[in-house]
Structure 1
């Protein structure tokens, strides 16, 4: 960032057209020229170009060739004694000489854009240039008609010779004037370069603006001229080391604010190098692009899709981080951007709207609507500032809408950028989560075919966990994808899991309880290996690895104890490998997975029984410290209990018995 940002000294006064001057009285510290505005320069350039007489190259060989062609067609070299032919030749060649001398264009004058509003041309013959009235010029068509009229006049005068009527007059008409773009452009360049960029001088000590005085258009242009002169003149003798120290301090303070924010609210980003690198690289990239575009006089900094920056941060992190980093990067770039306050206000407003309007990105229409909202935000804020400054639409710069539109349309690049950054940094977006949650994905299709009971169980877990996350807050796309894949390790030996077993067929009856526990526990390890083989994202693999935490395969552990009462049982052999869930979404899947499986094995699925089951199982997880690494709160736990009870009652179609109904049963 230090190398990207300009190193020239900055004008110390801030001002806006139409607002009061909030500094002390300002007088000219030295003589300086008043610069013309862009509109003044454009108008003067247009006026000069319109007054320019275009150049046309004159080809003198065409006349000689056409007259020679006519002489050949009349065979005068063979029949030189034919006085009639000589007479006709002289009349026609005289007309041709007149037409070619005036000039013949390929098309009519009206067709040439270069001749719009012109009365004359510069006819260049070699190095000789002479003026020619446009009224004297002919097109090939009008020149042909003029020559045809000459022949008809000769015929009407008694010269009705067959050989005269047989002449193909088109053979003698060829354009000998062509637009000389090179010479005309050279003339335009000379005129443009000769236009003065200034209009008057301000003398040293002359008053520019008083404190509290409104900065009108004239004073604004004087201030802009002083600013340009100051930054140019001070750049010659300024202490570069002091400017560099200032840049370092500014960048350090603003970047430090980002690190403090991350330390307080998103420590996980600080702890993961790829996340931190991505954020800083993206910030540096958008500032580099803005500064690069700002160096081109024909481009405007507002064409840079600054709103893409917070959208990308929002996509991979969260809205709060996106808005905070947007403000910091806009402040950093705004210090060097033209119209600092306007730039910061426009970009921060558009960026915040982009984040709020794109809270969902799993449909293409969401991105299109976000681009539309960003454009409207730009337009409304810019219009508001224009009305505040000028109080009228007469000076409204409609060309700015073009740059706002370009910036907004470039937001559509977010989709390919998301894909690129996912591959480069190992991130997972909501779009990817939706794609891998498709039940036609190869791994889920395999689960449905080889372990149909487990697939249905996973679908149920996904629905329940998604509902819970929607109520306590979290990523519903992540929890759904994680729930669908959490049991894929059962594909290897599906018959060892009760949901896939046929009635009366249990392979555990043929092996020891220790071996059964080993098979059950291995579905976690196998699931992780299978997910890595199919290149599932790391955040999905976390669900597979943590959905049992470090709990025990309790059923087989107790059965093993019953069969071996006199032996010391190695309790660790019955433990799941873990680790504990680290995210809110993974913790929810752990809770829902156990409760849903236990509820299906209940004989009496009453309201009281389900409530007791949910309370006891969640309290047991808390007691066993299985949720210690997650960020679930006690309020979240209460919401989870209430949501699961409500949904399980709906699933099992349970109706609460009222007191009257109980009395009737007793009767």
Structure 2
């Protein structure tokens, strides 16, 4: 049991990566659309590239969205309006009219005229309530069909123009009085009916909507059917019109049948295989070409998290409305990876992510082509991300590439610009603007995952920072030495294509441990008194080597990134404090070399190897007397060759060719520093 636990502990990093791999795979598969994929690719207006296609099963030809929308519009325009009728209103109005008629008729009017007036009033009421009087004004067309309901029972039908609006009552009165030749009594009748007339119709909005919904529900979404083994399209035939609709119908039917209950597990298994294979390629790439990243679980988690996050966001957008897919700033992914790692890893991860997203988006070929091209442009154009102008220029170039590529696709598909969707260009511009969010995103990631980008390195390189100010005050000689080493290391890194900004920052902080005992280091001894004279060789060596441990403690206390602390740990490797070692050998016969050696580890990257060379060269160059170009060349060769012989660069991925290039840079720089001047007369 103990051996098993020890084995688990030794392999805990691989176990974690395995669990991360499995969980990410299932998460991405869960986000995928729940449907199969049609095995043929076709585009409207383009020839059919595959062999003759026969119907694999019976299926219905679905109507286009335009056809269904048109049918819905026709039903909506021809829909019937339903009004509830109140029969008691007409009876009530007639009763009140009979009672109040005598009040408006003068006694001086003859009996004959009075009878005519009474009949005219009855005619007005009959006309008003033939269909009914509306209580509100409705904005319906006059030729809109209507149905009057008396307790949900159809009583009358007609058109909306038959109904009397409130403002049309006076017109009905005028017409009736004219017909009877009694227009002179208009004022009396208008005032009478103004008080008498009440609306007896109310628009039943809910019932009307319900009936319309039932009618829309009866719309057939298919027009005709295709029998099994029927030829759908021949090879080379242009896919358009009815053929295109048949293919779209087959695709839809195929995907719905594939994702049936019986095949659910198999389709899910196939998706899982593809996603797992893609993520496995990423892990193999990291293990073969970026071993330092692969061995860091935080960095692997960071990479998988970003891929999953981008797929999740794209899924949300597609589910909401697929026309907005180009608003998602996919190019943020390679930008982020380039900021924390390098361009090669960023592009590789970007391509794999786009391939996975291809399962989600419509027109996947067009989408993947655009995004891969944009990702390549991102890697080629974005340099020195910490410079704001570079980011704005690169985002503009990326947006332009999107627009040009989309324009080309439209012309290829449609053959003209008439059907181009200009709003897509707005989505591209919005995507470009969203890409600018990469700067604050990098800052957030630095805090969440403890990573360091070039932006942070630029801030750390400021010599006015608190820690470097403290170094210059406590150990001015060490600070000056660090500045010289930083200049040499930066030039060397630029020569061989290493991270110049990282190695410069590492050089500035590599000796901060000397602040604890500054006077024990010769560059800080200004009084001529050497405190080592009072110590044994072993004690002196311990103080010298301890500046590495002290430096790591100070760095962690000041929250310096691990990438910078690596330079403090490795800048002496496992080399020996040679002066005190030889002094001890002269004093004693038996001396343990480990007591006079730095704790290490040895440099394990190009940048840390460069710092070791430059640190040794700069420190030792102070002992050069009457330097000449020949002396400088021999001096550089001797020191670096000794480091090679001691195996200090065995763990660093640096080549002999690169070391020779660094030697040339250092020789040139030292020659410039120690160049001879003519002696000016006093």
1:534-577 deviation line (CA, Å, top 9, x unaligned): 11111111111111111111122223334x1x542333222111
Structure 1 segment 176-195 matched on structure 2, within 5 A: none
Q: Give the distance between the partners of 1:46 and 1:649, measured in 2 at CA.
A: 86
How far apart are residue 197 of structure 1 and its match? 4.9
How many pairs are equivalent?
Answer: 571
- The correspondence for 1:612, drawn from 611, 620, 634, is 634
- The correspondence for 1:583, drawn from 598, 601, 605, is 605
Q: Give the distance between the partners of 2:375 and 2:204, measured in 1 at CA.
A: 50
Q: Give the distance between the partners of 1:263 and 1:498, measured in 2 at CA.
A: 44
Q: Which residue of 2 aligns with 1:455?
A: 479
Unaligned 5+ segments in structure 2 are: 1-24, 83-132, 168-202
Secondary structure in 1 matching 2:436? helix
Q: Which residue of 1 aligns with 2:665?
A: 643
Q: Which residue of 2 aligns with 1:400?
A: 424
Check the 8 A contact 2:141/2:160 in 1, yes or no: no
Check the 8 A contact 1:367/1:411 in 2, yes or no: no
Structure 1 segment 479-558 matched on structure 2, within 5 A: 479-558=503-582
Secondary structure in 2 matching 1:590? helix
Q: Give the distance between the partners of 2:422 and 2:207, measured in 1 at CA.
A: 34
Unaligned 5+ segments in structure 1 are: 56-100, 110-114, 139-178, 658-667
- The correspondence for 2:351, drawn from 315, 324, 327, is 327
Q: Which residue of 1 aligns with 2:287?
A: 263
Q: Which residue of 2 aligns with 1:89?
A: none
Check the 8 A contact 1:303/1:404 in 2, yes or no: yes
CA gap 1:376/1:542 in 2 versus in 1, 3 angstroms: same
How far apart are residue 442 of structure 1 and its match? 1.2
Check the 8 A contact 2:78/2:144 in 1, yes or no: no
Q: Give the distance between the partners of 1:54 and 1:451, measured in 2 at CA.
A: 92
Secondary structure in 2 matching 1:295? helix
Q: Give the distance between the partners of 2:61 and 2:307, measured in 1 at CA.
A: 37
Check the 8 A contact 2:53/2:233 in 1, yes or no: yes
Q: Give the distance between the partners of 1:455 and 1:354, measured in 2 at CA.
A: 38
1:596 and 2:623 matched: no
Q: Which residue of 2 aligns with 1:428?
A: 452
Structure 1 segment 362-373 matched on structure 2, within 5 A: 362-373=386-397
CA gap 1:312/1:192 in 2 versus in 1, 3 angstroms: farther
Check the 8 A contact 1:53/1:118 in 2, yes or no: no
Secondary structure in 2 matching 1:337? coil
Q: Give the distance between the partners of 2:339 and 2:212, measured in 1 at CA.
A: 51
Secondary structure in 1 matching 2:259? helix
CA gap 1:36/1:580 in 2 versus in 1, 3 angstroms: same
Q: Give the distance between the partners of 1:328 and 1:235, measured in 2 at CA.
A: 25
Q: Give the distance between the partners of 1:104 and 1:197, measured in 2 at CA.
A: 38
Q: Which residue of 2 aligns with 1:91?
A: none
Secondary structure in 1 matching 2:36? coil
Q: Which residue of 1 aligns with 2:318?
A: 294
Check the 8 A contact 2:38/2:254 in 1, yes or no: yes
With the length of structure 2 as denominator, give the TM-score of the two structures. Answer: 0.73
Check the 8 A contact 1:290/1:301 in 2, yes or no: yes
Q: Which residue of 2 aligns with 1:23?
A: 50
Structure 1 segment 97-116 matched on structure 2, within 5 A: none
How far apart are residue 580 of structure 1 and its match? 0.7
Check the 8 A contact 1:362/1:430 in 2, yes or no: yes
How far apart are residue 435 of structure 1 and its match? 1.4
Secondary structure in 2 matching 1:361? coil
CA gap 1:411/1:132 in 2 versus in 1, 3 angstroms: farther
1:606-662 deviation line (CA, Å, top 9, x unaligned): 11111111110000000111111111101101100001111122223348x9xxxxx
How far apart are residue 369 of structure 1 and its match? 3.0
Q: Give the distance between the partners of 2:518 and 2:374, measured in 1 at CA.
A: 53
Q: Give the distance between the partners of 2:593 and 2:293, measured in 1 at CA.
A: 37
Q: Give the distance between the partners of 2:462 and 2:601, measured in 1 at CA.
A: 27
Secondary structure in 1 matching 2:42? coil
Check the 8 A contact 2:79/2:212 in 1, yes or no: yes
Q: Which residue of 1 aligns with 2:174?
A: none
Secondary structure in 2 matching 1:208? strand
Check the 8 A contact 2:318/2:360 in 1, yes or no: no
CA gap 1:554/1:186 in 2 versus in 1, 3 angstroms: farther
1:231 and 2:255 matched: yes
1:14 and 2:14 matched: no
Q: Which residue of 2 aligns with 1:167?
A: none
Q: Give the distance between the partners of 1:44 and 1:456, measured in 2 at CA.
A: 83
Check the 8 A contact 2:80/2:146 in 1, yes or no: no
Check the 8 A contact 1:27/1:207 in 2, yes or no: yes
How far apart are residue 252 of structure 1 and its match? 3.1
Q: Which residue of 1 aligns with 2:126?
A: none
Q: Which residue of 2 aligns with 1:378?
A: 402
Q: Give the distance between the partners of 1:119 and 1:200, measured in 2 at CA.
A: 37
How far apart are residue 246 of structure 1 and its match? 1.9
Q: Give the distance between the partners of 1:296 and 1:372, measured in 2 at CA.
A: 27
Q: Which residue of 2 aligns with 1:625?
A: 647
How far apart are residue 409 of structure 1 and its match? 2.7
Once the two structures are overlaid, the 10-residue window that deviates more, 446-455 or 371-380, is 371-380
1:389 and 2:416 matched: no
How far apart are residue 104 of structure 1 and its match? 11
CA gap 1:268/1:408 in 2 versus in 1, 3 angstroms: same
Q: Give the distance between the partners of 1:20 and 1:383, measured in 2 at CA.
A: 20
Q: Give the distance between the partners of 1:189 and 1:438, measured in 2 at CA.
A: 70
With the length of structure 1 as denominator, give the TM-score of the two structures. Answer: 0.75
How far apart are residue 484 of structure 1 and its match? 0.6
1:337 and 2:361 matched: yes
Check the 8 A contact 1:323/1:355 in 2, yes or no: yes
Check the 8 A contact 2:606/2:654 in 1, yes or no: yes
Check the 8 A contact 1:209/1:219 in 2, yes or no: yes
Check the 8 A contact 1:18/1:388 in 2, yes or no: no
Secondary structure in 2 matching 1:549? coil
Check the 8 A contact 2:232/2:246 in 1, yes or no: yes
How far apart are residue 118 of structure 1 and its match? 8.4
CA gap 1:519/1:385 in 2 versus in 1, 3 angstroms: same
How far apart are residue 359 of structure 1 and its match? 3.1
Q: Which residue of 1 aligns with 2:101?
A: none
Secondary structure in 1 matching 2:568? helix
Secondary structure in 2 matching 1:438? coil
Q: Give the distance between the partners of 2:72 and 2:638, measured in 1 at CA.
A: 84
